[in-house]
Structures are given as structure tokens and as C-alpha cells.
């Protein structure tokens, strides 16, 4: 009876509701779209606040507000350091973009994507296509599949245009030691990794990126982003950026403080510059968010400035238009640096970018609309909410010397972007509370460029976490003295050689996911000589940089880091919580011993490893690559005569398949391709993730429909019985699924709510868990 009564009552209410049927479900003009109320893009307090502060040039307010109410254009960036970036760009311009010409979707003409005028080498593009149209329009299905697949392969990044600016202004080079303080979700981090690998012929750049985020779960999203680029020079750590530990490195047997050449400080912010994509901001906007975040932003920026090497560059950025989060933080930081920091003039560094100068005067407004022009006007009961650092400096000369006009403000209506703020700081000398600064050496090749000598050797002590002591030291103590004291209490006797365990349990028990240790392979480990012999590794191969993630049992995966990151790992295991580092280069075969080597190559790290391999290399033609990527286990006879002559007398086991472009044939694919494969008894196969396989086929002009399995996967000659069907989640069709304990390159399995990164990533699914004969050609 109760259920029927409720049903009748609901029906009556629906009939009485004005406009419920006549306007197709829209109510009072606000409307219901998909069951959700439409958000009105108006906020009177927002308009009042920014009109009063005059953040928009005279006469442009209506254009500014009009742009904010329009949806944000989709933007994409081509990964710059990949050798085939030009091929992707050529494919985009001459195939996919041409197909969009004169195309109409839902009555709206599709705008052909245009390059961002200020981004170098036409590697960034924007279009008016929304995500909804891209997903649901049949005409755009092929273009959408291309974007998704290439994004998962790491060849394209979907990134907001203004978000690309800070890494460009950081001006990073391959020898720089870089800290990204608030890195998740990782789009800016990937740009920094690209800059490290500007020269693709150098597998191990001298520099590295340490990417940090305070949110443990978001760190795994960061890992997923970084892993797409396959770099041995990235480390993901999990700390509060405002008190991120000071690290140290071993230089000629002596512990020295690590200072960074470049620091990206993209701080948490109120995000009112993102109204075009985060429409919730319209109804939730209040000055209270900015007032609450100002203190944290200043602490993070200060900690970054402390860890910057003298002569280094730090970029501070927010996606907020509020001067309390922008110029107020910069002014306060400059004031307390007492000349140690200065704003760099970067007006000519990105030609084509439109921006307005930073503000030099602003006021503070409470959430209820009350204004204060100076700290003296703030009543005592407001002192906890409003702080003196939120106001511009009183002294006109001091204010003028700060050159706040050098800050860049990007407004949405100027180039159809989001709103953004960015400031570039250069460190001229040590901070006032750091007495003995490090010196930035002129030669980039000097490994000590970013470290400070420490005069006291560590001695045994009783405190397990030296960073705890450091955080309690008085601010007047120099960097060197802080590190000396921290080292004096480090319990060095409890560490095993080459093992970098997680931080003490007291640091971990409250949150996060327990990490496995990082264990470097000892030089005399019997595991390595068979690998070295089988692949004829060059004597210059840095075998001490190999690591695994287990201290017991068989080593299933081998990872590789750069020499500098190895140094950081070994000397800071008690100070930092490392989520992930290293790139997978070898995986164990359960049946591998019968092939003279227990480990086969992993596609993920092949571009890093290839320069050191002198054996097991098969040079293939473009036609061979097509056969290998579209057929399951092609017989040797299906390959070209050149490839056949190389493979026929080779012993069974893991191989490298290398395609070198022919410059005399400009119409053919002009980027080199290196694939991991397996030479069976009578056939050969590749171990390549699905999205990467599709990428290479596209570059060769072949479009493979989504969900289509390799030709020959069932019943084709040479297919054998080796391969399971292709899984739906994008894992390589040509191999058995990876074991659960090998989900990510150098990290444990993600928590269920950790963005599902690995499931989407198209892993190197041909992992170390191959049962005898299960995934290998016979």
C-alpha cells in the first residue's frame, strides 16, 4: 500500500510541476540534462571582485566573460623527443586533419585543428571538438581511436594549452637535475622528461626528474603518465611539497646536499582559471578558497627556493586569476629572500603567446564582500584568515624593484584558452637563512653541478629518520649545517648494501600503499653473465644500474635507472618515500634456461637497451615489420630474404628486430623502429603492446579497426597454438597476460581506485611469466 501511495504522489507532483512535459523535461529554464541540473554560468561576486581588481584590460570585460562561458577547446601535444614525432605530425596533418575538412557534426561545422602559434615546431594543436562529440560522432570515430591509441602509447598527450607553458619557460636541458614539486596528474612532468631526452642518441642523460605529489593515489596516475615515455631518468615520490626532504648524493665518496638546477612549482590553487572545463567553479567560487590556500602556496614556493641551486631557475604557476594566490605569493617570497631571488624577464621566450603583465596593486576581499586595502585595516578578529603576506609591499621603491610586471597573466579571451598565471624566478644567491650556498658550475658535464659539499661524515645514531630532525632545526641554520646534523644521527649500520627500502613504518602507517624495496644487482651476481654473453652487451653497459623489486626468491623483472638516480636512491632511502622509478628492460622466462638465457627483452625499455646490444639483432624491411605486426607467428619464409638469412641460423630465444629508414626513399617511413621479438623453432614473433603495434602500422599507412585481432591469430600458417585471444583491455594479443606481481614497471599493483592506469596503458604484456611454450613460437 505504501509503495502505491508513494507512486501516486510522485505522479501528481510531476503533473503539477510547471513545464515538466511541454519543454521536454526542462524546468524553469534551468533544465535537466541527463538527469543533472544545468549550471548557470554566472557569479556576481566573481564579476564584482575581478572588475574591482582590474585584471582585464580596459574595454575587454565582455569578451573576457564571454570566453569564460564558452567550452574549452580540446588540445593535444605530440611527444617531442620521440624520433617519430615528425612522422606523427605528418600523419595528423595529411590524413586525419584532411578528413575533418568540410565535416559537420550535429549541424556544427568541425573546425580543422590549428597549431598553437607559440609552441615550438608545431607540436601542439587545438580544435573546437569537445570530448563528447569526439566520443559519440561516427564520422569522428577513426580520429578518436587514433587519439586514444597514440595517447596510451605515449606519442600524444591530451593537455590544456596553458598547462604547457611552465615547462617551456623552465628551459630545462638534458644535464639538469629537475624537481616537479606538485606533479600529478603528470602532463607537465612528461614535458620535462622530453626535454631531458632532447638527444635520442643518448640513452642515459646526465639529468633527471624527481616528480612529487602529496596524494598517494594521484602518484599512481603520475606513474602511468611517466611510464608512457619509457625513461630511466624519472622518479616518483610521495611527500608534502611544503616540507619535501632535502636529499643528498655521493660525490667521490663524500655525501653532498642535492640542489636542483630547475624546479617546477605548479601549486594547488582555487582554479578559477579553469571555469571553462570545471563548470562547478561558477557556483562554488568564493575568495575564501584563495585566502585558505595562500599560506600553503607560499610555504611550497619557499621550500622550492631553498632547494634551488644558485643560478638555477624556478617557475611558479597557478590556474587561478586571483592575485592573493599569484602576485601576493611572489611578492612575499621576493621580500623575504632579501635579493636572493629575482623575477626573470621572459617576455621574449615564447613568441606568439599573448599575456598581460602582473599586477602591482591589489586589495583583499573576504567571502562576504568586505574589502581591505592594507594589513593595518584588518580587524584583529580577521587576523587568522587574512595575513600580512597577502598585501602588496607598502614601500614604493621596494615594490618597483620587484618588477611584478614580469609575471605573466594569460586571459581566456586572448587566445581561446583557460586562465593562467606564471612567474619565473632566478636564484642569485643563497636565501638569507642559508649561509653557505652551492655554486652552479659552468660546464653541464660536471656531475657535481647541483650539490653542496658536506664536511662531516655520517655517524651511527638512534633516530631513524634524519629528515625529522632537519625539519625541527631553526630557520637560521645553513643548508650545510642542517645536513651535517641530519647525517650525524643517521643509522647507517642498519642498511644493506644496494638495498633501498621504504621509509620507516611510522612514516607510512597512516596512509598509502606499502612499497617493495629497490634492490640493485651486485656486480658479482651470477644472474648477469649469461645475459651479458647471450646479448653480447657492450663493456660500457652500466650493469650496476640494474635493479629489481624483491630481496627474496627469483628475480622476475629487471629494471634500469640512470647513474644519477641510482646515486639518489642509495643515499636517501630513509628520507623519501619512492613510489616508482626505473624502466623494465628484461623479464624472466620460466623456460628460459633452455635458451641459454633466462631473461628476454622487454619492449618498454628496448630503446634504452638497444645501443648496448651487439648480438641477436635482425635487420628487417618495412614489409617485414608489417608481417610481424599483423601476423601471429609468421614462418621464417614469410620474411624478406635478407631477414631470413639472418634468422635461420640463429639460436632460439629473444631477439631485436630493427628497421632502419632508407633516406633514398622519402615516401617510406623515415623513423627507425626497434621491436622485441622471439625466435622460435620455425617462426618468429613480436612482443609489442597493442597500442604501440597500432602506432607503427598507422605510421606505415595501415589503419587497423578497433578490436581486430592480428591476421593469422587463428588458423593462419605459422600461427601454431601459441597465443591466446587478444584481451579487451589493450594488452598485447601476442603474449600471455602479465602475472599480477609484475603489473607496473617498478611499482606494486595499483589500488583499485588508482585511476586504472595499467589496465589502460597497453602494457608490455609479454612479461616474465611465460610458461613453457605458452606464448613462444615453436
185 is in an annotated binding site: yes
| The pLDDT of residue 176 | 96
Left if phi > 0, otherwise alpha if psi is -120 to 50, otherwise beta: which for 121? left
| pLDDT confidence tier of residue 262, bands split at 50, 70 and 90 | very high
Residue 28 CB-half CA count within 13 A: 6
| The pLDDT of residue 426 | 98
187 is in an annotated binding site: yes
Maximum mean pLDDT: which of 92-96, 404-408, 547-551: 404-408
- Whether pLDDT at 177 is above 60: yes
Grid coordinates in use for 648? 635461420
- Respond yes or no on whether the N-terminal peptide bond of residue 702 is cis (omega within 30° of 0): no
Give the lowest-confidence range in 388-392, 539-543, 722-726. 722-726
Closest CA to 225 of 156, 282, 271: 156
**Average pLDDT taken over every residue of the chain:** 79
183 is in an annotated binding site: yes
Dihedral over Cα of 402, 192, 755, 708: its sign: positive
Whole-number Å distance between alpha carbons of 414 and 411: 6
Q: Could you tell me the end-to-end alpha-carbon distance of the chain, in angstroms, rounded to an integer?
A: 70
751 alpha-carbon distance from chain centroid: 19
Whole-number Å distance between alpha carbons of 357 and 56: 10
| The pLDDT of residue 151 | 87
pLDDT, one tens digit per residue, over 294-353 is 999 999 999 999 999 999 999 999 999 999 999 999 999 999 999 999 999 999 999 999
Contact 205, 739 (CB under 8 A): no
Closest CA to 110 of 129, 85, 86: 129
- Whether pLDDT at 363 is above 50: yes
Give the lowest-confidence range in 93-97, 179-183, 600-604. 93-97
pLDDT, one tens digit per residue, over 51-78 is 999 999 999 999 999 999 998 988 999 9
| The pLDDT of residue 593 | 61
Arithmetic mean of pLDDT, 549-562:
88
Grid coordinates in use for 344? 626573470
| Catalytic residue of the set 91, 265, 269, 319 | 319
Whole-number Å distance between alpha carbons of 724 and 762: 16
401 is in an annotated binding site: no
Cβ neighbours around 62 below 10 Å, total: 10
Query: Reduced to 3 states, what is the DSSP secondary structure of residue 559?
Result: strand
Regarding beta strands 499-500 and 356-357, do their DSSP bridges make them parallel or antiparallel, or are they unpaired? unpaired
| pLDDT confidence tier of residue 738, bands split at 50, 70 and 90 | very low
Residue 79 CB-half CA count within 13 A: 27
Closest CA to 581 of 231, 184, 217, 187: 231
Hey, which residues does 677 pair with through a beta bridge?
655, 686
Contact 200, 83 (CB under 8 A): yes
pLDDT, one tens digit per residue, over 105-153 is 777 777 888 999 999 989 999 987 777 777 777 778 888 888 888 888 8
Give the lowest-confidence range in 419-428, 476-485, 667-676, 740-749. 740-749
| The pLDDT of residue 715 | 33
pLDDT, one tens digit per residue, over 8-26 is 555 555 554 444 333 433 3
| pLDDT confidence tier of residue 754, bands split at 50, 70 and 90 | very low
- Whether pLDDT at 103 is above 50: yes
- Whether pLDDT at 751 is above 50: no
Maximum mean pLDDT: which of 110-114, 233-237, 466-470, 651-655: 233-237
pLDDT, one tens digit per residue, over 439-454 is 554 444 434 344 444 3
240 is in an annotated binding site: yes
Residue 570 CB-half CA count within 13 A: 23
Whole-number Å distance between alpha carbons of 153 and 763: 9
SS (HEC) of 462-523 = CCCCHHHHHHCCCCCCCHHHHHHHHHHCCCHHHCCCCEECCCCHHHHCCCCCCCCCEEECCC
| The pLDDT of residue 509 | 38
Arithmetic mean of pLDDT, 590-612:
84
Q: How far is CA 563 from CA 17, 295, 558, 567, 580, in A?
A: 70, 37, 16, 6, 16
| pLDDT confidence tier of residue 517, bands split at 50, 70 and 90 | confident
Cα angle: 684, vertex 688, 691; to 5 degrees: 140
| pLDDT confidence tier of residue 624, bands split at 50, 70 and 90 | very high
| pLDDT confidence tier of residue 388, bands split at 50, 70 and 90 | very high
- In DSSP notation, 43-55 reads -HHHHHHHHHHT-
184 is in an annotated binding site: yes
Dihedral over Cα of 50, 42, 269, 371: its sign: positive
Hey, which residues does 234 pair with through a beta bridge?
209
Closest CA to 761 of 770, 750, 774: 750
- Whether pLDDT at 474 is above 90: no
Query: Yes or no: is domain 162-182+241-432 CATH 3.40.50?
Result: yes
188 is in an annotated binding site: yes
Is 597 a residue of the active site? no
| The pLDDT of residue 111 | 81
Whole-number Å distance between alpha carbons of 631 and 652: 19
Contact 405, 343 (CB under 8 A): no
| The pLDDT of residue 704 | 64
Amino acid at each position: 500500500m505504501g509503495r502505491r501511495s508513494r507512486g501516486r504522489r510522485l505522479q501528481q507532483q510531476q503533473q503539477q510541476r510547471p513545464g515538466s512535459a511541454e519543454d521536454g523535461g526542462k524546468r524553469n529554464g534551468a533544465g535537466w540534462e541527463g538527469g543533472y541540473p544545468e549550471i548557470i554560468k554566472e557569479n556576481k561576486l566573481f564579476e564584482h571582485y575581478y572588475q574591482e581588481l582590474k585584471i582585464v584590460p580596459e574595454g575587454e570585460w565582455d569578451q573576457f566573460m564571454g570566453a569564460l562561458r564558452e567550452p574549452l577547446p580540446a588540445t593535444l601535444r605530440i611527444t617531442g623527443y620521440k624520433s617519430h614525432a615528425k612522422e606523427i605530425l605528418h600523419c595528423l596533418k595529411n590524413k586525419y586533419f584532411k578528413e575533418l575538412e568540410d565535416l559537420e557534426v550535429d549541424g556544427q561545422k568541425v573546425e580543422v585543428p590549428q597549431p598553437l602559434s607559440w609552441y615550438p615546431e608545431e607540436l601542439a594543436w587545438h580544435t573546437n571538438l569537445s570530448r563528447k562529440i569526439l566520443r559519440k560522432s561516427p564520422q569522428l570515430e577513426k580520429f578518436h581511436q587514433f587519439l586514444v591509441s597514440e595517447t596510451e602509447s605515449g606519442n600524444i598527450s591530451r593537455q590544456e594549452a596553458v598547462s604547457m607553458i611552465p615547462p617551456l619557460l623552465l628551459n630545462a636541458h638534458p644535464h639538469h637535475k629537475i624537481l616537479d614539486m606538485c606533479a600529478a596528474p603528470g602532463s607537465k612532468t612528461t614535458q620535462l622528461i622530453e626535454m631531458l631526452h632532447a638527444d635520442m642518441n643518448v640513452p642515459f642523460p646526465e639529468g633527471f626528474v624527481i616528480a612529487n605529489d602529496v596524494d598517494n593515489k594521484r602518484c599512481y596516475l603520475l606513474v602511468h603518465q611517466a611510464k608512457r615515455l619509457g625513461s630511466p631518468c624519472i622518479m616518483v615520490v610521495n611527500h608534502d611539497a611544503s616540507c619535501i626532504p632535502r636529499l643528498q648524493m655521493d660525490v667521490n665518496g663524500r655525501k653532498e646536499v642535492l640542489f636542483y638546477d630547475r624546479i617546477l612549482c605548479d601549486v594547488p590553487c582555487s582554479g578559477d582559471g579553469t571555469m571553462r572545463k570545471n563548470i562547478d567553479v561558477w557556483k562554488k567560487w568564493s575568495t575564501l578558497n584563495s585566502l585558505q590556500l595562500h599560506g600553503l602556496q607560499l610555504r611550497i614556493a619557499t621550500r622550492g627556493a631553498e632547494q634551488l641551486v644558485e643560478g638555477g631557475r624556478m617557475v611558479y604557476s597557478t590556474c587561478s586569476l586571483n592575485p592573493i594566490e599569484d602576485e601576493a605569493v611572489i611578492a612575499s617570497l621576493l621580500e623575504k629572500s632579501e635579493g636572493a631571488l629575482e623575477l626573470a624577464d621572459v617576455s621574449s621566450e615564447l613568441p606568439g603567446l599573448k599575456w598581460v603583465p602582473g599586477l602591482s596593486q591589489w586589495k583583499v576581499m573576504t567571502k562576504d564582500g568586505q574589502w581591505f586595502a592594507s594589513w593595518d585595516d584588518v580587524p584583529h578578529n580577521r587576523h587568522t584568515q587574512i595575513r600580512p603576506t597577502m598585501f602588496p609591499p607598502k614601500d614604493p621603491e621596494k615594490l618597483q624593484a620587484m618588477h611584478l610586471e614580469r609575471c605573466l597573466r594569460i586571459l581566456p579571451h586572448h587566445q581561446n584558452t583557460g586562465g593562467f598565471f606564471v612567474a619565473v624566478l632566478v636564484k642569485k644567491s643563497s636565501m638569507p637563512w642559508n649561509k653557505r650556498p652551492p655554486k652552479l658550475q659552468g660546464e653541464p658535464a660536471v656531475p657535481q653541478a647541483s650539490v653542496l659539499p658536506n664536511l662531516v661524515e655520517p655517524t651511527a645514531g638512534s633516530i631513524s629518520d634524519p629528515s625529522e630532525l632537519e625539519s625541527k632545526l631553526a630557520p637560521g641554520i645553513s643548508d650545510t649545517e642542517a645536513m651535517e646534523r641530519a647525517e650525524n644521527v643517521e643509522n647507517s649500520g642498519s642498511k644493506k648494501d644496494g638495498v633501498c627500502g621504504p621509509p620507516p613504518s611510522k612514516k607510512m602507517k597512516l596512509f598509502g600503499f606499502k612499497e617493495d624495496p629497490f634492490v640493485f644487482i651486485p656486480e658479482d651476481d651470477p644472474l648477469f653473465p649469461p645475459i651479458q654473453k647471450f646479448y653480447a652487451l657492450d663493456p660500457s653497459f652500466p650493469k650496476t644500474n640494474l635493479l629489481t623489486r624483491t630481496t627474496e626468491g627469483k628475480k622476475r623483472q629487471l629494471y634500469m635507472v640512470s647513474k644519477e638516480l641510482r646515486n639518489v636512491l642509495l643515499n636517501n632511502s630513509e628520507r623519501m618515500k619512492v613510489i616508482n622509478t626505473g624502466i623494465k628492460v628484461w623479464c624472466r622466462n620460466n623456460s628460459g634456461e633452455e635458451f641459454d638465457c633466462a631473461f628476454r627483452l622487454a619492449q618498454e625499455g628496448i630503446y634504452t637497451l638497444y645501443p648496448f646490444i651487439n648480438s641477436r639483432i635482425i635487420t628487417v624491411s618495412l614489409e617485414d615489420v608489417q608481417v610481424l605486426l599483423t601476423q601471429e607467428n609468421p614462418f621464417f619464409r614469410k620474411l624478406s630474404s635478407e631477414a631470413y638469412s639472418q634468422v635461420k641460423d640463429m639460436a632460439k630465444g629473444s631477439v631485436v628486430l630493427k628497421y632502419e629508414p632508407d633516406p633514398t626513399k622519402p615516401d617510406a617511413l623515415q623513423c627507425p623502429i626497434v621491436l622485441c621479438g622471439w625466435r622460435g623453432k620455425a617462426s618468429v614473433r613480436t612482443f609489442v603492446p597493442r597500442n604501440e603495434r597500432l602506432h607503427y602500422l598507422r605510421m606505415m599507412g595501415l589503419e587497423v579497426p578497433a578490436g581486430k585481432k592480428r591476421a593469422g591469430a587463428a588458423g593462419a600458417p605459422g600461427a601454431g597454438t601459441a597465443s591466446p585471444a587478444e584481451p579487451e583491455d589493450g594488452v598485447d594479443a601476442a603474449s600471455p597476460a602479465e602475472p599480477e606481481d609484475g603489473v607496473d614497471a617498478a611499482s606494486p599493483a595499483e589500488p583499485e581506485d588508482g585511476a586504472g592506469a595499467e589496465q589502460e596503458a597497453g602494457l608490455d604484456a609479454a612479461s616474465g611469466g611465460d610458461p613453457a611454450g605458452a606464448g613462444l613460437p615453436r
